[in-house]
Structure 1
Amino acid sequence: MFSQFALHERLLKAVAELKFVEPTPVQVAAIPLALQGRDLRVTAQTGSGKTAAFVLPILNRLMGPAKVRVDIRAVILLPTRELAQQTLKEVERFSQFTFIKAGLITGGEDFKVQAAMLRKVPDILIGTPGRLLEQLNAGNLDLKNVEVLVLDEADRMLDMGFSEDVTRLSQECAQREQTLLFSATTGGAGLREMIGKVLKDPEHLLINNVSQLAEGTRQQIVTADHNVHKEQILNWLLANETYQKAIVFTNTRAMADRIYGRLVAQEYKAFVLHGDKDQKDRKLAIDRLKQGGVKILVATDVAARGLDVDGLDLVVNFDMPRSGDDYVHRIGRTGRAGNEGLAISLICHGDWNLMSSIERYLKQTFERRVIKEVKGTYGGPKKVKASGKAVGVKKKKTDKDKKGDKKSVAKGPTKRKSVNRPKADTPALVSQDGMAPLKRRKPAVSE
């Protein structure tokens, strides 16, 4: 029960109003430490309740009587507009019985309108690094008295090239008393470097090993011969799988537009989401998916983080993601909050090694699935011969083999070390039948 936490009664009232009963593992682990003011570095899968794990402690810190706001007291940094908007909604839901106000700063919105909002000084500022820096450089943002800094989806911010921006913003919050860093993956050297820069004596909470991520999601692969064959498989899946809502992920905007166009031509209720879409279209796509106006969303990785949609139970990787972390975030859109989901990756010859590396990273083996109605010829790498030698691998020549090579000319003349060496050092050429010597000719220029 949430009553186990030392939260203000107005926050507990909001939690009860929202019908939150049992806290999730990440909330059980993180909330008590965050309430104590500790710096935290938390790794937990998407859909595990991470947002509430940092929002409730922040709100509890800021609780008090209504008064004139003179400073921004908490900043929450996120990698995408969609995740920032979703976090704002969560803050507003949990703070509904308080006087705490939150503001949103992201790209794609009117700069002057945002500057006017900042002059009202919200208690909590939620935003993406790029636009926050623009407002900071324009003199519209003062972070000197921020008490709490939250870096949510920190690994994704690094992947998107926000490392310098995040470092600069954290330096602007120099007087902060607490920093909370959350991510769905353990990240690499870049994330470890950031942790060393922004956290002070942090408590490390590993709620899920990477091999435990998306345990509620069945993960399958279906082999394909080429992209046209992938489209045929996708059509079959969307027509025959049982699902409420689905996301089809691609690696490029052009492919996303192509698939979206084909789905619309087949009268599917679909929408497309990628970086070329303006903020209005991106918001419309997500809202229509959440409300059920569309059943299928075709998207690039811009939708892989922060998209929380009820009833989203099918993810199709038309293109295999470029890293294990991206794969985790894609399939994390389904199987959320204990529900079951299905993730299917379409694998061509060029995708196999990438897929195998992701399996090793997750320490899992994806289920191999064959759909007989759209079965192709490619089924994975060629099998190893019974002798133990892989197909196409040259074996070491024996002396007997080398002697036989002298009697063979079908593979072309041997490469000479020097064109002008003495004739006595040059072996005689042999005819096609391996019997009569051929008359020697001057070597071609290409040799």
Structure 2
Amino acid sequence: MFAQFALHERLLKAVAELNFTEPTPVQQAAIPPALEGRDLRVTAQTGSGKTAAFVLPLLNRLMGDALPRVTIRALILLPTRELAQQTLKEVERFSQFTFIKSGMITGGEDFKVQAAMLRKVPDILIGTPGRLLEHLNAGTLKLNDVEVLILDEADRMLDMGFSEDVQRLGKECANRQQTMLFSATSGGNGLREMVASVLREPVHLKLNSVSELNEGTRQQIITADHNYHKERLVEWLLANETYQKAIIFTNTRVQADRLWGKLVAAEHKVYVLHGEKDQKDRKLAIDRIKQGGAKVLVATDVAARGLDVDGMDLVINFDMPRSGDDYVHRIGRTGRAGGEGLAISLITHSDWSLMSSIERYLKQRFERRNIKDLKGIYQGPKNLKASGKPVGPKKKKVDKKDAKKPGAKAAAPKRKPTARPNNAPSAVVSQDGLAPLKRKKPAAE
């Protein structure tokens, strides 16, 4: 029960109002040290309840009597607009019985309207690094009195090239008293460097190893001959699988638009979401999916983070993601909060090596599947072991001792090149044996 935590009664009232009963493992592990003011480094799978794990301790810290707002007291950094909007909604839900106010700054919105909001000085500011830096450079944002800095989906911010921006914003919050960093994966050297630079003697909480991520999601692959074959497989899956809502990932905007057009022509209720869509269209697509006006969303990786849709129980990778971490975040759109889901990746010969490397990264082996009516020619590399690794003919090893036994075939002796007479016909082979030499004509006598 949440009552076990030393939370303010108004926060417990909000928790009860929202029908939160048992804390999730990440909440159970992270809330107590966060309430103590410790810096945290938390790795936990998508959909595990990370947002409440940092929002509740943050709100508890900021609780007090209603006073005039003169400084921004907390900053939450996120990689995408969609995730920022989702986090803002969660903060507002948990703070509904308090005097705490929050605001959001992301790209794609009117800069002057955002500056006016900043002049009202929200207690908690939620935003994406790029637009926050624009306001910082314009002098409309001051962060020197921030008490708590939270980096959510930190690994994704690094993937999107926000490392320097995050470091700059962290330095602007120089007087902060607590920093919490959350991510779904352990990341690489870049994330370790960020942890070292922004956290002070942190508590490390690793709730899942990468092989345990998305345990409630079945993971399958279907081989395909080419992209047109993939498009037919997608149509078959949407027509025959049982699902409430589905998301189909592509690696490019061009492919996303093409697939969207194909599915619309096949009379599917589908929306498309990618980086070239303006904020109005992106919000419309997400709202329609959430409200049930459409069952299918075609998206690039811009939607792999921050998209929390109830009933999203089918993920199709039209294109295999470029890394294991991206794969984890894609399939994390389904099987959330302990639910079950299905993730299907469509694999051509050019995708096989990438798919195999992701299997090794996850220490898992995906279920192989064929659709009888659409079975292609390509079925993976030839001569596969049970492990899925290609094999070739074994070379027979010859023991050196056996080579000396009677009857053993002796190696042919090397022949020394012999000189040819001047009148030898045709071309002469050079002594290195690599190229023919043209025979010179004899000099005139």
Taking structure 2 as the reference length, what is the TM-score of the superposition? 0.89
Matched with 1:86 is 86
Query: Residues 227-266 of structure 1: matches in 2 within 5 Å?
Result: 227-266=227-266
Letter in 1 for 2:56: L
Matched with 2:292 is 292
User: Aligned pair 1:310/2:321, yes or no?
Assistant: no
Sequence identity of aligned pairs in percent?
77
SS of 1:219's equivalent in the other structure is strand
SS of 1:343's equivalent in the other structure is strand
Matched with 1:38 is 38
The worse-fitting range, judged by mean Cα deviation, of 164-173 and 364-373 is: 364-373
Deviation of 1:425 (Å) = 4.3
In structure 2, what is the Cα distance between the partners aligned to 1:125 and 1:42? 21
Q: Deviations over 1:160-210 (max 9, x none)?
A: 000000000000000000000000000000000000000000000001111
Deviation of 1:115 (Å) = 0.3
CA contact (8 A) 1:104 1:127 kept: yes
Matched with 1:353 is 353
Deviation of 1:20 (Å) = 0.4
Deviation of 1:373 (Å) = 1.1
SS of 1:7's equivalent in the other structure is coil
CA contact (8 A) 1:382 1:391 kept: no
Query: Residues 16-415 of structure 1: matches in 2 within 5 Å?
Result: 16-383=16-383, 390-391=391-392
Q: Deviations over 1:94-135 (max 9, x none)?
A: 000000000000000000000000000000000000000000
Deviation of 1:402 (Å) = 9.3
Alpha-carbon distance change, 366 to 99 in structure 1, aligned in 2, over 3 angstroms: same
Alpha-carbon distance change, 367 to 72 in structure 1, aligned in 2, over 3 angstroms: same
Q: Which runs of 5+ in 1 are unaligned?
A: 407-420, 430-439
In structure 1, what is the Cα distance between the partners aligned to 2:374 and 2:430? 63
Deviation of 1:395 (Å) = 9.0
Q: Which runs of 5+ in 2 are unaligned?
A: 416-426, 440-445
Q: Deviations over 1:212-267 (max 9, x none)?
A: 00000000000111111111111110110000000000000000000000000111
SS of 2:220's equivalent in the other structure is strand
In structure 1, what is the Cα distance between the partners aligned to 2:221 and 2:314? 13
Alpha-carbon distance change, 198 to 401 in structure 1, aligned in 2, over 3 angstroms: farther
In structure 2, what is the Cα distance between the partners aligned to 1:252 and 1:368? 25
Taking structure 1 as the reference length, what is the TM-score of the superposition? 0.89
Letter in 1 for 2:8: H
Q: Deviations over 1:340-395 (max 9, x none)?
A: 0000000000111111111111111100111111100111111069xx99449999
In structure 2, what is the Cα distance between the partners aligned to 1:291 and 1:226? 34
In structure 2, what is the Cα distance between the partners aligned to 1:237 and 1:257? 19
Across the aligned residues of Structure 1 and Structure 2, the Cα RMSD in angstroms comes to: 2.5
In structure 2, what is the Cα distance between the partners aligned to 1:229 and 1:370? 13
Letter in 2 for 1:305: R
Matched with 1:435 is none
Letter in 1 for 2:264: V
Letter in 2 for 1:300: T
SS of 2:350's equivalent in the other structure is helix
CA contact (8 A) 1:25 1:207 kept: yes
Q: Deviations over 1:395-427 (max 9, x none)?
A: 999998997xx9xxxxxxxxxxxxxx9658488
Alpha-carbon distance change, 132 to 426 in structure 1, aligned in 2, over 3 angstroms: closer
* Count of paired positions: 415
In structure 2, what is the Cα distance between the partners aligned to 1:322 and 1:212? 20
CA contact (8 A) 1:290 1:310 kept: yes
CA contact (8 A) 1:384 1:391 kept: no
SS of 1:259's equivalent in the other structure is helix
Alpha-carbon distance change, 70 to 372 in structure 1, aligned in 2, over 3 angstroms: same
In structure 1, what is the Cα distance between the partners aligned to 2:25 and 2:161? 30
